[in-house]
Amino acid sequence: MYNKVETDMNFVGREKKIEEFWKKEDIFKKSVDTRSKGEMYMFYDGPPTANGKPHIGHVLTRAIKDMIPRYRTMKGYTVPRKAGWDTHGLPVELEVEKMLGLDGKEQIEEYGMEPFIKKCKESVWKYKGMWEDFSGTVGFWADMEHPYITYDDNFIESEWWALNEIWKKGLLYKGFKVVPYCPRCGTPLSSHEVAQGYKLLKERTAIVRFKVKDEDAYFLAWTTTPWTLPSNIGLCVNPDEKYIKVKAVDGNVYYLAEALADKVLGTLLDKDSEGQKAYEVLETYVGTDLEYKEYEPLYQCAADETAKQHKKAFFIYCDTYVTMSDGTGIVHIAPAFGEDDARVGRKYDAPLVQMVDGEGRLKPETPFAGMRCKPTQKEMDEGAISADPEVLKDLDKRGLLFAAPKMEHDYPHCWRCGTPLLYYARSSWFIKVTEVKDDLIRNNKEINWVPESIGKGRFGDWLENIQDWGISRDRYWGTPLNIWECDDCGHQLSVGSRKELAELSGDPSAETTELHRPYIDKFEITCPKCGKKMHRVKEVIDCWFDSGAMPFAQLHYPFENKELFEKQFPAEFISEAVDQTRGWFYSLHAEATLLFNKPAFKNVIVLGLVQDENGQKMSKSKGNAVDPFEALEKYGADAIRWYFYTNSAPWLPSRFAGDAVMEGQRKFLGTLWNTYAFFVLYANIDGFDAANYKLELDKLTVMDKWLLSKLNSCVKAVDENLNNYRIPEAGKALDNFVDEMSNWYVRRSRERFWAKGMEQDKISAYMTLYTALVTVAKAAAPMVPFMTEEIYQNLVRTSFADAPESIHLCDFPAVDASLIDEKLEKDMEEVLDIVVLGRAARNAANIKNRQPIGQMYVKAEQTVGEFYTEIIRDELNVKNVAFTDDVRDFTSYTFKPQLKTLGPKYGKNIGAIKGYLEGLDGNATMDELNTNGSIKFTVNDVDVELVKEDLLIEMAQKEGFVSQENWGITVVLDTNLTEELVNEGFVLEVISKVQTMRKDSGFEVMDHIKVSLNGNDKLAEIVKAHEDSISSKVLANEIVYGSDVANAKEWDINGEKVTIGVERV
C-alpha cells in the first residue's frame, strides 16, 4: 500500500518535512560522497555578506545555483559545493560605526582600531543563522559547515601570495591619480564599484565669464561642477573645431565655439526681440589658434598655489575630448578633479591645485572654507552648506556668471553609504590590468555566457575600456596590503607569506599573528637598500579582490591543496545577478588572468534583477519589497523556484507576482500532484504494487505507447536543455508533458483504472502511469526538489527497499530511444489540435461538451486511423467524424483591406479595393492566396497586388454549421440537434450533477448511492430510458422518481428545473 495522498495544496508543510528528512539523513553529503569517483564538475558559490539579510533576489540566485549542481550530480559528476562568506569591507565597517555611534575615520581611531576590528569580526555573523535557515528553506544545498571565510588568515595569506605574484610581474604599483573617492568613507573606489552606484541628479551647471588677459573680452567656459572652480588653472578647446569672437547683445565680447553660439547666446534675447541678432561675429578661429592665450585667474587661491609650485597656468589648452554636444565648446580645467583634466594638465605640465580636503570640504584658503562639495541630504539637514550655490552666487555678484542652466545627469554615488563621489587626485595602489587587456579579452572568448550578449556586450565592452584596478582602500577592516615601505629611502617590498614575513622581520610570531590591522602593522623589516626601518603601508585592499580570490584562497593555495586546486580550477559553472558583471564576475576573471592566464569559469548564467509585480525596482522606502521568508511561507520553495525557472529567460528582469507564482503552482505542481494522487488512490483500491509487476511493452495500448514516447522525448529535451543551461526550455518540456499526462492520458484512460478486477489492460495502465510519474519526478527533481522527493519516497521507497534513499541520490533518467515513436506523437498531436479546434467551435456555437453533436468534418494535411478518430468522437462528444479535402460547402471567407498598410499606398483607391474584395468568391480567393501567396486585380486603372498581411480575413459560416481553423486544420461542426441528441445531452448533464453532489457530500470513490429525481414526466421518461447507463456511471444501486432523499438540490438543466438527491447506501 502506498501512503494516502492529500489533495490539498499545503506544499509548504510537506516541504518542511522533506527538509527535515534531508537534514536527518545527511542527504546532501551523501549526494556528493556517492559520486566521489565521478568526473569533477566544479561550482563556485559567490559569497554573500552575512551582516545583511537575504532578499527575494537571493531566492532566484540560490534556485539557479542549486538546480544546475543537482542536475550534474544526478548525471554522475562529483559536484563539490562549498559555501562562502564575504566578510571584509566598508559595509561591515559602516554597520559597526552605526552600532557604536561613531561617524567617520577620526572617531574610529579615537575609539581604537583594535576594538573596532574585533567588533567588525563579530558583526559579520549577525545574520548567519538567518542565511542558513533561508538556504535550507529554498532547498539550496552547499557545505555550510565548512565554508570559506574571507577574513580567515589562510584565505588572506593566499591573497598575499597572489598580490606578490602580481608584484613580481611588475603589475602592482603606487600612483598619483584622479580616482573615484568617497569623502564620507575616506577611501577610493575601483571602477567596477563605481559602476554599481549611479543615481539621477538634477543640478545647476555654470557658464562662466573668464576675463581674457590684456583684452576687453571673455572666454565663455562651461562646467558641471561649480565647486571645482576655485581650483581652476586652465581652459580647454577642441583643436580641430571652429571658434568665434563675437560682440553680444549684452555688450560683452566673448570667445566660444561657433557650433554652440546660437544656443548659448540666444538666451540673451527677449521673447519680443524677433528678428534681432544675439551677436555679431568679429573673428573666426580654429581651436589651435587660441592655444596658450591667457586669461585672468578666477580665484586668487589658485593663483597663489600655482606660484608656490613655480608652474605656468591660466591659459588655453587644446584637446579633442572637448565636444560640441553641450556647453560652450570651452571647458574649465581642474586637474585634481577629473581624469581628462589630469591628462591634459600633465601634457601642459600644469600645477596641481586641490582646494578640497579629504572630507569633501573646501579648504580655508578659498572664499568657501568648510563648505561641502557634494553634501548628502542628511548632512544638509545637519547644517552643512553646499558649495555649488555659494560659488554661483559669488560669480554672479562679481559679474562673471553668464548662466547657470539646470542639467539632469547620472552621477556616481558610493555603493555602500550612498554619498556622492568626488573624482579626486590622490596617491593609491593599482593593479595594471591594462597591461593584460588582450589576455582578458582572449580569455573571455572562451567563456560560455548565458546570454551570449552579456559576454560580448556588457562584459566585453567593459574589458575593451578597462582601466587599472585601484586596489587600495584607506580603511581598517580588510585584507592588509602586503607592501612594506622604507621610512627613509622609500624602497618597497612585497611579502608573499607569513613565513616570509617572519624571516624578513626576524620575528617568528609573524607566522601565527592575525593578518589584520593593527596586529600586522607592528612588524618591521630592515631595508635591504639603506638599512633603515620599513613599515607596512597603511592601506587594506578592495574586498572585491577577496571574492575574486576564492577559487584558490578557499583552499589555502599554493601553501596547501595544490593538486585539489588544479582539479577544481577553472569552475564549470557560476551564476549571479547581472550587477555582478563588473563585480564578482570581473574580479574572478581579472585575477585568473593575472595569475594563471586562463578564465576562472567556463559557463555562467547571468540573472536579471527581481522587480515588483509592476516592473518597478523593489525598495523598503517604496514599500514594494517582498520579504523572502513571507513569500516562502506563503507559496513554498518549489512554487517560487518553478516560477523563476519558467516565467522568463533568467537574464531578463523578473516581476515577482504572487498570482503568477500561484498560477504556476496550480498548473504544473498541482497537476503533477493530482495525477500522482489519482494513481495512489486507485492503486490502493486495487492493491496494486509496482514491485509485483513489470512493464510489458508488447501488451501496451496505443495510449500507453504514446505516453512512454512522450515521456522519453520529454526527458531527452530536459536533459539536452539543462546540459546547455537552457532553463526555461527544460521547464517548458516538463510542463507540457505533465499537462498531457494528466489532461490527456489519464483522462482518456480513467475507465481502465475504474474497471473491475486486475486484467492486463489495467496492469498496463498502472505500470505506464507509474513509470511516467517516477521518471518525470526524477527529471524534475533538480528544479522542484521537495515535491519530487515526496513522490519518490511514496512510489519507490515503499515498494523497493533497495532503491536509493533519496531521489537526489538517483541517476538522471536515461532516454530509451526505442520507445520514442515520432509518427505516433505526430498523429496524436494532430488529434489534440483537432480536439482543441472542436472545443473552440463548440464554444463559438455555445453548445456544451455534454451535448452530443451528430456530425463533424475535418480538413487536414493527413487523415488519422480509426483509433484516433474514435478518440476525437469521444473527446468532442460527436457521433460521426468525416475527413474531407473540401469544406467549402460549409465555410467561406470574407476579405477587407488593412487600412494601416494599404491606405498610404493606394490612397483614394482604397474604397474601390474594398468594394472589389466584397464581391470575391471567398473560397476561390483563399485558394489563390494559399497557392500563389497573393491576389492580383485592377481597380480604376491601378494594378493591385495583395498578400495575406494586407487583408483582414474572416471565416464565414454557413447557417447550421460552425467552423474553426488553425495549424493547417479546419474543423466544421453541424450544430443542428435532433430530439434524440438533445435527450442524450440531458442524461449526461444529470450524470454530471450527480457526480458533483457525490464529491460535495464527501463520498469515497467506491461508495454506492441511491439517487432521487424530481421533475416533469418527460424528464423522468428520458432518465428511465437511460437508467442503466446512469446507474453504472454514478454507482447508483437505485434511482427513484417523485420523492426526495437526503442532500436534495434543485438544478437548472437545459432550462428545466430538476431536483436531485443522493444518499450513500
Helix-, strand-, coil-residue percentages of the chain, each rounded to 5: 45, 20, 35
Q: Is the pLDDT of residue 358 over 90?
A: no
- Classify residue 797: in a domain, yes or no: yes
Assigned C-alpha cell, 1029: 447507463
C-alpha–C-alpha distance, residues 1006 and 1035, integer Å: 8
- Classify residue 129: in a domain, yes or no: no
pLDDT band at 906 (very low <50, low <70, confident <90, very high): confident
Q: What is the pLDDT of residue 567?
A: 94
Q: Is the pLDDT of residue 612 over 90?
A: no
Assigned C-alpha cell, 931: 497557392
- Classify residue 271: in a domain, yes or no: yes
If you ran DSSP here, which 8-state letter would residue 40 be given?
B
C-alpha–C-alpha distance, residues 591 and 44, integer Å: 15
Q: Is 670 helix (H, G, I), strand (E, B) or coil?
A: helix
Q: Is the pLDDT of residue 537 over 90?
A: yes
Beta carbons within 8 Å of 184's beta carbon, 6+ residues apart: 104, 360, 376, 414, 417, 419
Check whether residue 932 and residue 1025 sit in a common domain.
no
Paired with 891 in beta bridges are 957
Check whether residue 701 and residue 791 sit in a common domain.
yes
C-alpha–C-alpha distance, residues 27 and 872, integer Å: 47
Closest CA to 571 of 557, 558, 556, 552: 552
Check whether residue 986 and residue 924 sit in a common domain.
no
Residue where a domain terminates, one of 761, 778, 811 = 811
Which residue reads 450527480 in cell numbers?
A: 994
Q: Is the pLDDT of residue 850 over 90?
A: no
Q: 380 or 539: which carries more pLDDT confidence?
A: 539
Closest CA to 151 of 443, 549, 523, 716: 549
- Tell me the catalytic residues: 47, 86, 544, 580, 584, 617, 620
Mean pLDDT, the chain, integer: 91
Tens-place pLDDT, residues 560-580: 999 999 999 999 999 998 888
Q: Is the pLDDT of residue 1055 over 90?
A: no
Residue 282 contacts residue 245 (beta carbons within 8 Å): yes
pLDDT band at 45 (very low <50, low <70, confident <90, very high): very high
Which residue reads 585601484 in cell numbers?
A: 470
Maximum CA extent, the chain: 121
Which residue reads 473540401 in cell numbers?
A: 886
Q: Is 822 left (phi over 0), alpha (psi -120 to 50) or beta?
A: alpha
Residue 265 contacts residue 299 (beta carbons within 8 Å): no
Check whether residue 255 and residue 323 sit in a common domain.
yes
Interhelix angle 671-686/760-780, nearest 10 degrees: 140
- Classify residue 988: in a domain, yes or no: yes
Span 870-894, average pLDDT: 86
Check whether residue 948 and residue 990 sit in a common domain.
no
Tens-place pLDDT, residues 995-1013: 888 888 888 888 898 888 8
Residue where a domain terminates, one of 900, 923, 957 = 957
- Classify residue 343: in a domain, yes or no: yes
Question: How many CB atoms lie under 10 A from the CB of residue 681?
Answer: 18
Tens-place pLDDT, residues 272-292: 667 788 999 999 999 999 999
From residue 1058, how far is each of 949, 1016, 1019 by CA, in Å? 52, 8, 8
From residue 106, how far is each of 110, 184, 189 by CA, in Å? 6, 11, 20
Q: Is the pLDDT of residue 624 over 80?
A: no
Span 69-96, average pLDDT: 92
If you ran DSSP here, which 8-state letter would residue 793 be given?
I
Check whether residue 221 and residue 357 sit in a common domain.
yes
Q: What is the pLDDT of residue 273?
A: 67
CATH number at residue 1001: 3.30.2320
Residue where a domain terminates, one of 331, 352, 386 = 386
Check whether residue 905 and residue 770 sit in a common domain.
no
Which residue reads 565647486 in cell numbers?
A: 227
CATH number at residue 715: 1.10.730.10
Is the pTM for the entire model greater than 0.85?
A: no
Check whether residue 208 and residue 256 sit in a common domain.
yes
CATH number at residue 366: 3.90.740.10
From residue 1026, how far is each of 304, 899, 987 by CA, in Å? 111, 56, 7
Closest CA to 400 of 324, 299, 317: 299
Tens-place pLDDT, residues 704-724: 999 999 999 999 999 999 999
Percent of the chain with pLDDT over 70: 99
Residue 218 contacts residue 211 (beta carbons within 8 Å): yes
Q: What is the pLDDT of residue 193?
A: 74
Assigned C-alpha cell, 749: 484512460
* CB-side neighbour CA atoms (13 Å) of 826: 7
What is the dihedral angle through the alpha carbons of 830, 831, 836, 840, rounded to the nearest 10 degrees?
A: 100
Tens-place pLDDT, residues 769-796: 999 999 999 999 999 999 999 999 999 9
Residue 558: cis peptide before it, omega within 30 degrees of 0: yes
Check whether residue 940 and residue 987 sit in a common domain.
no
With vertex at residue 443, the alpha carbon angle to CA 440 and CA 444, rounded to the nearest 5 degrees, is 85
Q: What is the pLDDT of residue 169?
A: 96
Assigned C-alpha cell, 567: 582539479
Q: What is the pLDDT of residue 244?
A: 96
C-alpha–C-alpha distance, residues 875 and 853, integer Å: 11
Using a 10 angstrom Cβ sphere, with 0-12 exposed, 13-18 middle and 19 or more buried, the burial of residue 93 is buried
Report, in angstroms and rounded to the nearest whole number, the Rg of the chain calculated over CA atoms.
39
- Classify residue 664: in a domain, yes or no: yes
Residue 495 contacts residue 160 (beta carbons within 8 Å): yes
Residue 162 contacts residue 550 (beta carbons within 8 Å): no
Q: What is the pLDDT of residue 621?
A: 65
Please list, residue by residue across 454-472, b when 16 or more beta carbons sit within 10 angstroms of its beta carbon and e when fewer do: bbeeebbebbeebbbbbbb
From residue 172, how far is each of 166, 344, 423, 557 by CA, in Å? 6, 25, 22, 20
Tens-place pLDDT, residues 458-514: 999 999 988 889 899 889 999 999 999 999 998 999 999 999 999 999 999 999 999
Check whether residue 902 and residue 1015 sit in a common domain.
no
Check whether residue 1000 and residue 939 sit in a common domain.
no
Tens-place pLDDT, residues 967-992: 888 888 988 898 889 888 888 888 88
Check whether residue 679 and residue 765 sit in a common domain.
yes
Span 218-242, average pLDDT: 95
pLDDT band at 1046 (very low <50, low <70, confident <90, very high): low
Q: Give the domain range for residue 342.
A: 203-386
pLDDT band at 598 (very low <50, low <70, confident <90, very high): very high
Closest CA to 1061 of 1018, 1013, 1028: 1013
- Phi, psi values for residue 604, rounded to 5°: -140, 130
Tens-place pLDDT, residues 129-168: 888 999 999 999 999 999 999 999 999 999 999 999 999 9
Q: Is the pLDDT of residue 195 over 80?
A: no
- Classify residue 1039: in a domain, yes or no: yes
Residue 761 contacts residue 701 (beta carbons within 8 Å): yes
Please list, residue by residue across 864-874, b when 16 or more beta carbons sit within 10 angstroms of its beta carbon and e when fewer do: beeebbebbbe
Domain count, the chain: 4
Paired with 177 in beta bridges are 426
Residue 787 contacts residue 672 (beta carbons within 8 Å): yes
Tens-place pLDDT, residues 718-768: 999 999 999 999 999 999 999 999 999 999 888 888 888 888 999 999 999
Tens-place pLDDT, residues 643-677: 999 988 889 888 888 888 888 889 999 999 999 99
Assigned C-alpha cell, 177: 591619480
- Classify residue 722: in a domain, yes or no: yes
* Pairing mode, strands 1036-1041 and 1009-1014: parallel
Paired with 949 in beta bridges are none
Question: How many CB atoms lie under 10 A from the CB of residue 369?
Answer: 13
